[in-house]
Amino acid sequence: MAEKVRLASLEEIPVGAGAEIVAAGRVFAVYNVDGQIHILDGVCPHAGGPLGKGTLEGCVVTCPWHGWQLDVTNGHHCLNANIQQPSFESVVEDGDVFVLV
Ligand code: FES
C-alpha cells in the first residue's frame, strides 16, 4: 500500500508555479497547472538537472540546465516518445499537498 507523504502547503505552490521538494529520500518536482497538482521525479532524465526549478508554461516544464521539455501531467518528453519521466499520484487535503509513494 502506498505511503502518503506531505510535501508542502498548497499556498507554497501557486497556480503556474513549480517547486523542488526533497522528501522520503527522493527529489520531487511539484507543479500546479490550473489548480491541479502534478508530481514528477525531480531529477531530469537528461543529465540530472533540477526539474522542479524549471520554467513552467501551461503543462510543460523546461529544464533549467539544457532545455529538455516534459509534460508535467504525464511525464512525457515533448519531442522523444521514448523518454518517460516517472510521475506520482498527488493528494491535496486540508490545504496540504501529499505524494503517494
Ligand atoms: S539536465 Fe535537464 S536538460 Fe540537461
Can you read off the three cell numbers belonging to residue 9?
A: 502547503
**CA distance linking residue 37 with residue 91, whole number of Å:** 8
Q: How many Å apart are CA 69 and CA 1, to the nearest integer? A: 32
Overall domain count for the chain: 1
In short, whether 66's Cβ falls inside 6 Å of ligand 1 is yes
Whose cell is 511539484? That residue is 30
> Model-level pTM?
0.97
Q: Residue 13: pLDDT above 90?
A: yes
CA–CA dist 70, 19 (Å, integer)? 15
Res 30: pLDDT: 98
DSSP E strand boundaries for the chain: 4-9, 18-23, 26-33, 36-41, 55-57, 60-62, 69-71, 87-88, 90-93, 96-100
Closest atom of ligand 1 relative to the 47 alpha carbon: 1
Question: Is the CB of 53 inside a 6 Å radius of any atom of ligand 1?
Answer: no
CATH number for the domain harbouring residue 94: 2.102.10.10
Residue 1 confidence (pLDDT) above 90: no
Domain residues for the domain of 88 are 4-100
- pLDDT for 39: 98
